[in-house]
Amino acid sequence: MEAGEITNVVVVGSGVMGAGIAQVFAQEGFSVALNDVSGEVLEKAKGRILDGLSLLESGGLLSKKTAKEAAGRISYVTDIETVKDVDMVMEAVWEKIEIKHELFKKLDGLFSPGVILASNTSGISISRIASVTKNPGRVVGMHWWNPPYIIPVIEVIRGEQTEEMVIRTVRLLVERLKKKPVMVNKDVPGFLGNRMQYALMREAVSLLENGVATAEDIDTMVKAGFGFKFPVIGPLETIDMAGMDIFYNVSKYLYGELDDTKTAQKIVEKKAKENKLGQKTGEGFYDYSKTDIKSLNKERVDRYIKIMKDLGY
Ligand SMILES: NC(=O)c1ccc[n+]([C@@H]2O[C@H](COP(=O)([O-])OP(=O)(O)OC[C@H]3O[C@@H](n4cnc5c(N)ncnc54)[C@H](O)[C@@H]3O)[C@@H](O)[C@H]2O)c1
């Protein structure tokens, strides 16, 4: 299956990610069947898709006509076996290996070997997901970031047995979706993005736990400091700009000082056990008890949209 031949996509799982992913495919002209376990869940997903389209429309990224046409390209199905003419399946169900295994076994039996099976797993090995199928060559990782209709990058992950043709096709598909592909050549836990993101978050938590700075100042350090540069230059470009000699010398004394804990830190474990889960329970590192979370997140999306436009995404 060549990228240009893909027109009909099934997205399995209509939660936070699946709904947003279905929206992006539909925006770019694909016919999408969005599948989940019940009509009620799908109805909620439809509401989120319409909200997402109207956010992009009000931000000037989509015309009213395109948004309306995109909404019309998505059908909502509870029984995946009723979907005909499938070119690829994009899985976005719960992050549990047993659930993904059961699903991939079913998909492998249901669709002909030319149909690409992509997983949006955050960190489960693609090879492990593919291991229950008879055609592991067509199983590939396609890791979208949240919210899928905003964040430009998609990681394309090669499992041990993923066919070269499938990798090439998915890369072109990502470009057709007007997203930025990054190719992950080895099926390592956390792929590219989460490995780097978690390295930073581990250090941020450690700085907070050790009383080096407040949560606000740690976040400001990233947002108004080195993170401010990241939409323009990445970490390796930063090293080249500063000089390898400087990086070499600083690495020699600083690496040994950085947090290298192998398990979740005490502060994280304590908060998780006390149900201080962040926005969803009203408290995490910050107190959200008096915050209108919906407005806060809408304001953040509006700001992302401005940045996307400035950067030409
Ligand atoms: N939330 C994120 O920020 C994020 C980012 C990147 C990747 N991911 C990954 O994407 C996947 C989905 O995450 P999410 O946050 O959208 O989860 P979610 O809990 O919001 O949604 C999962 C959906 O899958 C459905 N589901 C479960 N089993 C199913 C099955 N057998 N058939 C059909 N539908 C089924 C559930 O009913 C639910 O609606 C996970 O693998 C997750 O790790 C999540």
How do residues 132-183 score in pLDDT, each as one tens digit?
Answer: 999 999 999 999 999 999 999 999 999 999 999 999 999 999 999 999 999 9
- Could you tell me if 226 and 132 lie in one domain? no
Residue 82 shares a structural domain with residue 229:
no
Cβ of residue 35 lying under 6 Å from some atom of ligand 1: yes
Given the residues 8, 131, 194, 206, select the one marked as catalytic.
194
How far apart are the C-alpha atoms of 57 and 5, rounded to whole Å? Answer: 28
Active site residue 122: yes
58 and 153 in a single domain? The answer is: yes
Q: Using CA atoms, how far apart are residues 197 and 145, in angstroms rounded to an integer?
A: 12
Query: Two tokens at 116?
Result: 């690409």
Q: Do 206 and 173 reside in the same domain of the chain?
A: no
Mutate to test the pocket of ligand 1, among 10, 16, 98, 105 (most ligand atoms within 8 A of CB): 16
When divided into structural domains, the chain yields a total of: 2
Kindly state whether residues 39 and 169 are assigned to the same domain. yes
**Domain closes at, from 184, 214, 234:** 184
pLDDT band at 266 (very low <50, low <70, confident <90, very high): very high
| 48/129 same-domain check | yes
Residue 15 backbone dihedrals phi, psi, to 5 degrees: -80, -150
Q: Do 9 and 109 share a structural domain?
A: yes
Q: Is residue 2's pLDDT more than 80?
A: no
Q: Which of 35, 91, 120, 143 is catalytic?
A: 143
14 CA to centre of ligand 1 in angstroms: 7
Mean pLDDT across the stretch 201-228? 98
14 pLDDT band, cuts 50/70/90, is very high
Whose alpha carbon is nearest atom 32 of ligand 1? 36
Which among 31, 54, 122, 131 is annotated as catalytic? Answer: 122
CA of 36 to the centre of ligand 1 (A): 10
Q: Are 12 and 89 in contact (CB under 8 A)?
A: yes
Cβ proximity of 56 and 62 under 8 Å: yes
Tens of pLDDT, residue by residue over 35-49, are: 999 999 999 999 999
Domain's final residue, options 184, 214, 247: 184
What is the distance between the alpha carbons of residues 1 and 113, in angstroms, rounded to a whole number? 10
267-292: per-residue pLDDT in tens? Answer: 999 999 999 999 999 999 999 999 99
Tokens linked to 100 = 């993904």
> Is residue 101 annotated as part of the catalytic site, yes or no?
no
Q: What is the pLDDT of residue 313?
A: 84
Q: Is it the case that residue 3 has pLDDT exceeding 80?
A: no
Which residues constitute the domain of residue 217?
A: 193-311
Angle, CA of 270, 147 and 54, to the nearest 5°: 130
Which of 163, 184, 205 marks a domain boundary? 184
194 catalytic residue (yes or no): yes
Q: What is the per-residue pLDDT for 312?
A: 85
Q: Indicate which atom in ligand 1 lies nearest the CA of residue 146.
A: 3
Cβ of 151 less than 6 Å from ligand 1: no
Backbone φ, ψ for residue 155 (5° rounding): -85, 130
The identity of residue 191, as a single letter, is F
Residue nearest to atom 33 of ligand 1 (CA): 36
Task: Give the DSSP H/E element, type plus range, for residue 64.
Answer: helix 64-72
CA of 248 to the centre of ligand 1 (A): 41
